[in-house]
Amino acid sequence: MAPRKIIIDTDPGQDDAVAILLALASPDEIDVLGITAVAGNVPLALTAKNARIVCELAGKPETLVFAGCDRPLGRDLVTAEHVHGKTGLNGPVLPDPTMPLQDQHGVDFIIDTVRAHDPGSVTLCPLGPLTNIAMAFEKAPDIMERVQEIVLMGGAYFEVGNITPAAEFNIYVDPQAAGIVFKSGVPIVVMPLDVTHKALVTRPRNDAFRAIGNEVGTAVAEMTDFFERFDKEKYGSEGAPLHDPCVTAYLIQPELFTGRHINVEIETHSELTMGMTVADWWRVTDRPPNAMFMGDIDADGFFALLTERLARL
Ligand code: BDR
Ligand code: CA
């Protein structure tokens, strides 16, 4: 089968970085048409820089990287340096990128790329706030019916929230954008905290990254070491959740994940629950399903895949 054509929309972020590395390590399954950066974990200038640092770490400086929106549609930007560090990519010491940032705006790249390919042949993979995707849909509504699928990390149901008691970070940062995306009619696969909080980088899993013995394995071990200190303290868990790589792992081995096709609405009005993903997991409403909302992961299978692929870089 031909590799799946994707655009990665991202705010790196150590876990975004690992998601990108997994995609770039898997050319038989995934064809990365481009990477669009968005403001999220850290401001746009840093996410656009970090995306290029990661491409160079992967040995793929030919990857096209674009800067997208520098702030949410209707709210002030909220960032997460408390988790990811000042640069967003704290942990390993990595050189500044020498590969170029493309001139075109990330939103226009998304629009042009979806229009230039056959309908139903481009998948969007958002790993951060949904600002760029929503902007593209608002600017060019014709692309919505041409997108094959959106596979995103965001939201939560049973795990509720990580940035507020009710909301997950990516959705909280730009709830208006999330509302537009979830109402778009495009098929959506969601990797919520319910899944990603089961993808924990335990000590043996971190050791396995390091034992790969290449530059990428060491960098990933150092990245996960860095944000582990925050997550362990916060959740009292065995290690840090590796959120965003669940998206790219799904493209390679979808059978690692199980979930339900249900209705998901986004809270965009109440300040108290702003950005909540109201997921009808128990199907108690007659609202039509609009998302495949994942609930479980084969975590050992996921880390085996990740370790095997990172060794290829
Ligand atoms: C999400 O928020 C970010 O901090 C991570 O990169 C991930 O995309 C988890 O809530
Ligand atoms: Ca992210």
The domain total for the chain is: 1
Residue linked to tokens 């990477």: 35
Ion ligand 2 nearby residues (CB, 5 A): 11, 13, 16, 127-128, 244
Catalytic member of 82, 105, 197, 243:
243
pTM summary value? 0.98
**In terms of residue numbers, what domain contains 159?**
4-310
Q: Please tell me the distance between residue 141's alpha carbon and the centre of ligand 1 in angstroms.
A: 27
DSSP 201: E
Q: Which atom of ligand 1 is nearest to the CA of 163?
A: 10
Residue list, ligand 1 pocket, CB within 6 Å: 13, 15-16, 41, 80, 83, 127-128, 153, 162, 168-170, 243-244
Q: Please tell me the distance between residue 240's alpha carbon and the centre of ligand 1 in angstroms.
A: 12
Let me know if 243 is a catalytic residue: yes
Q: Which atom of ligand 1 is nearest to the CA of 13?
A: 6
What tens-digit pLDDT sequence spans the chain (313 residues)?
899 999 999 999 999 999 999 999 999 999 999 999 999 999 999 999 999 999 999 999 999 999 999 999 999 999 999 999 999 999 999 999 999 999 999 999 999 999 999 999 999 999 999 999 999 999 999 999 999 999 999 999 999 999 999 999 999 999 999 999 999 999 999 999 999 999 999 999 999 999 999 999 999 999 998 887 776 777 767 888 999 999 999 999 999 999 999 999 999 999 999 999 999 999 999 999 999 999 999 999 999 999 999 999 9
Q: pLDDT of 3-27, one tens digit each?
A: 999 999 999 999 999 999 999 999 9
C-alpha Rg value of the chain to the nearest Å: 18
Q: Identify the three-state secondary structure at position 192.
A: coil
Ligand 1 pocket: which of 8, 9, 14, 15 to mutate (most atoms within 8 A of CB):
15
Q: Please tell me the distance between residue 303's alpha carbon and the centre of ligand 2 in angstroms.
A: 18
| Nearest ligand atom owner, CA of 153 | 1
- We report the CATH number of the domain holding residue 145 as 3.90.245.10
DSSP 198: T
| Nearest ligand atom owner, CA of 170 | 1
Q: pLDDT of 242-273, one tens digit each?
A: 999 999 999 999 999 999 999 999 999 999 99
Query: For the purposes of burial, counting CB atoms within 10 Å of the CB of 229, is it exposed (0-12), middle (13-18) or buried (19 or more)?
Result: exposed
Helix, strand and coil content of the chain, in percent to the nearest 5, comes to: 40, 20, 40
Q: Please tell me the distance between residue 12's alpha carbon and the centre of ligand 2 in angstroms.
A: 6
